[in-house]
Chains A and B, each alone.
Chain A
Amino acid sequence: MIELNNISKSFGKTQALKNVSMHLSAGKCFGLIGPNACGKTTIIKSILSMVVPSTGNILFDGKNIEGEVSYKNHIGYMPQIGRYPENMSIKQVIDMIRDIRAYQGIEDRELYDAFGIDQFGDKKMRTLSGGTTQKVSATLAFLFDPPVLILDEPTAGLDPISSELLREKIIKERQNGKLILITSHLLSELDDLLTDIIFMQEAEVLFNKSVVALFEETGEERVSKAVSKLLKIKRA
């Protein structure tokens, strides 16, 4: 569904991505993991063309995304730190996005209801706590039932109950055959969410494996342990 071919990007002197290629197909849940500043968010922003790669191309359903916008109708994006116009209320933000998307199908209001967005819908964005902002971001990402979900550190800042609600929702959507891309550095959170793991280090992809293959190779049964063991093997 999404294909990245030899993407490179540098911000001034720092190279954020070096020749990154990956193929993301529907029905899978990819975990994009790695240490801080390894290029995870840059990959996500490149897919959304918020960052323009220096070289390489990105295909969405086989079509180059350069200069295109309509493919974003098929993506729900939850940013790491949601930044919204401060003077707008939650409902205004949602209405504006609704207006832009002009989505014809039935809205998926599961998270909207689960998080009780209605109760604080009139609050201005600037008055919201970090966790509530994350709830709004998550709601917006899922609201238009998009076939692709891109979630950048989805559970950071959420309370345990909301975090669990979101996890369940992610698993449900994966079973519905959606493509999900998650970044996180809390590996323990990712068990039973992921089907594939993409590990990045210093702007490069170190490995891209299915979770099953990873477990077989390392003999572990948890993502966090398997990843650290594989890293030890690679270093040795």
Chain B
Amino acid sequence: MKGITKFVIADILKNRIILFYALILGVFSWSIFSLEDNTSKGIMSLLNIILLTVPLVSIIFSNIYMYNSAEFIELLVSQPVKRSAIWTSLFIGLAIALNVSFLVGIGIPVLLFVPFMTGMTVIITGMLITTIFVSIAMLCSILMRDKARGIGFSIMIWLFLSLIYDGLVLFFMFQYADYPIEKPMAIFSALNPIDLARIQVLLQVDVAALMGYTGAIFKKMFGTMTGYLISLILMLLWIVIPFLISLKLFNKKDL
């Protein structure tokens, strides 16, 4: 399994896209922090960029990589390697490669410009988001046999989670503004990994006004520490559950 993971990482790093991704993230964060004196504001701008680009790149790149690895997977399955080892190696390889470029692009400047605790929260959140979308991409690639449909589907998921979902939540909020909707709202936001990531960082930065509706509810309901732990657990579930479903499907797949 170690050998396969090593091979996958080497193969991805050979791909220039991943270096380009690190470079772009680096340009974003360095320019934000050099233009903005107020660190909190800087973090907010950076957070918006992270929450938009990181999921998109992670899900699309992983998805395309999975489809392009079809031959590789077929070759390995005919050899004495456990299917779960193949699938897990691909997941670990993709997650490591994407997380490393995130760390290079965002991690270094954040640690330089932002107070340590807040900086670490941003970095951990970004890494969780990266891994979550690798996991979702692997599930998409096994659900759809056709490459174009699979990539289209993963774009839809990204669009839904990062843009449409918030719109729907707002719509419900206005529709049912007269009712006590705090709890359903908190549950709604807990179901979306991108919302969770936003809440997690905002709980740390402590800019209540910018926290958005669901963030404020989270803080009110759970307080900073419990809220943070709950969102952390939920995000870990977002990694584990899609991956385990995809693994189960892959173990039964006909090649």
Interface residues of A (CB under 8 A from B): 11, 45, 48-52, 69-73, 77, 79, 83-87, 93, 96-97, 99-101
Contact = CB atoms under 8 A, between A and B. Distances in A.
Contact of A69 (B71, B80, B255): B80
Interface string B67-96: 011111011111111100000000000000
B77 A84 contact: no
A69 B254 contact: no
A206 B241 CA distance: 46
A11 B71 contact: no
Lowest 5 CB-CB distances: which A-B pairs, in order?
Answer: A83-B71, A72-B80, A85-B72, A51-B254, A50-B255
Interface string B34-57: 000000000000000000000000
B19 to A, nearest CB: 16
Nearest to B7: A96
A85 B3 CA distance: 16
Given A50-B77, A50-B254, A100-B76, 17 more contacts: A45-B255, A51-B254, A69-B82, A71-B80, A72-B80, A77-B78, A85-B11, A85-B69, A85-B71, A85-B75, A96-B3, A96-B7, A97-B79, A100-B4, A100-B79, A100-B81, A101-B79
B14 to A, nearest CB: 7
Size bracket of the B interface: 20 to 34
Residue of B11, B70, B72, B76 contacting most chain A CB atoms (<10 Å): B72
B252 interface: yes
Interface of B: 3-4, 7, 11, 14, 68-72, 74-82, 252, 254-255
B11 A87 contact: yes
A84 B78 contact: no
Contacts, number: 56
Contacts of B77: 48-50
Contact of B254 (A52, A71, A84): A52
Nearest to B254: A51
29 contacts: A11-B254, A45-B254, A45-B255, A48-B78, A49-B77, A50-B254, A51-B254, A52-B252, A52-B254, A69-B80, A69-B82, A72-B79, A73-B80, A79-B78, A83-B75, A84-B71, A84-B75, A85-B11, A85-B72, A86-B71, A87-B11, A87-B14, A93-B75, A96-B7, A99-B3, A100-B76, A100-B81, A101-B79, A101-B80
A78 to B, nearest CB: 10
A96 B70 CA distance: 16
A51 to B, nearest CB: 5
B80 A100 contact: yes
B77 to A, nearest CB: 5
Nearest to A97: B79
B142 to A, nearest CB: 14
Contacts of A48: 77-78
Nearest to A11: B254
